[in-house]
Structure 1
Amino acid sequence: MSTPTVPAHRIEVRIQELSQLFNSMDPTPFHHKDLDPDAEEFIISWAQEHPRDAELEILIHVAGGNPPADAEALVGEALHNYFDYRAAHAQREFRQLMQRGRRSLVIGLGFLASCLLLAEQIGHASAGTFATIVRESVLIGGWVAMWRPLEIFLYDWWPLTSRRRMFEKLARATVRITTG
């Protein structure tokens, strides 16, 4: 039994010449990673519009001139290299975020434990309104120290993972060039 294929969703890019796709500061753009920022933003914004599980096809319409015969292979390789690089960069950002989260968690737990012990000591040492206010303030401070690690582990990693998956999908995209 064959597995159903996921239909490819098309991203159409209309340009006058192929050089518009690449950063003009890169002396060898077809082999490396430097895509023009406007072209990158355009491709990424359209990729985000398509379903998450959809495969992508990038169709480049070149209005002016005839691109070289091997342009489709060269541009395809350049786009794949660029988005592979961006996916690897997003993965590094994710690993760094998780390291920061673990470090924040250790610091937060240590501070929370200290605050709980201090609050317990304050509770045993004295009674009264002022002692209660100080004890509760110390407890609140301990729990506030846990805010950042929880924010990292519950929310901050989602956008990085989503971005990495999108870049991986763009790195696998079929690239075609048409003229006219």
Structure 2
Amino acid sequence: MAASNSMGAIELRLTDSAQLFNNLDPFPFRERDLSAEAEQYIVEWAEELPKKQPIEIVVHLQSAATAAPDPAASIPDAITGWFRVREREEARAIRQLFHDGRLAFMIGLAGLALCMGLIWLLTKAYEGPFMRVVQESLVIVGWVVIWRPAEMFLYDWVPLLRRKTLFRRLADASVTVRTS
């Protein structure tokens, strides 16, 4: 495979259309999985393109002799369909992350409340420098318990959204197949 990064185009030069697809996938072109190498190649080049520029994928087939009757007609649908599925998977991952985040937040909030309640009880019952260390330790534990849910809501969704947006751009890409 070779690529050109001009004018928002990703170019693939293939000797056979089968190079695009997973060899172990038994389905016809339109329903086949892209090979991991082909997907990685396309995604890496797409990440380098300007975010607002539409993407064009140009597949150059050096050999028109393949098992499929007309592989050139099936390739565009297969590529865009694959990335449409990947976009839906990322959307599902974002929904799952927020679902898990809400659950983790409830558990974390309960843990923080428990730690704060213990601090309040210990403050009423005991005094002294050792008890002060225990109280401060419980404050730290309480905030550590809430850290992961906060991290999920503040940061973890960003790369998922970035990939979902990239996959949407690839699903909307103009795919051209040229045989030589």
Q: TM-score if structure 2 supplies the norm length? A: 0.90
Partner of 1:57: 56
Superposed displacement of residue 130, structure 1: 0.7
Superposed displacement of residue 33, structure 1: 4.2
Partner of 1:77: 77
Partner of 1:5: none
Deviations 1:58-115 (A, max 9, x none): 0011122367785343111111111111111111111111111000000001110111
Q: Is the 8 A contact 2:30 2:78 kept in 1?
A: yes
Q: Distance in 2 between matches of 1:24 and 1:15?
A: 15
Partner of 2:159: 159
* Structure 1: runs of 5 or more not aligned: 1-7
Query: After the TM superposition, which segments of 4 or more aligned residues of structure 1 sit over 3 Å from their partners?
Result: 65-73
**128-137 or 64-73, which deviates more:** 64-73
Q: Is the 8 A contact 1:33 1:85 kept in 2?
A: no
The total of aligned residue pairs comes to: 174
Percent of residue pairs identical: 40
Q: TM-score if structure 1 supplies the norm length? A: 0.90
- Give the match's secondary structure for 1:90: helix
Partner of 1:148: 148
Q: For 2:73, give the aligned amino acid.
A: A
Q: Is the 8 A contact 1:22 1:29 kept in 2?
A: no
Q: Distance in 2 between matches of 1:139 and 1:130?
A: 15
Q: Is the 8 A contact 1:111 1:145 kept in 2?
A: yes
Q: Distance in 1 between matches of 2:108 and 2:162?
A: 27
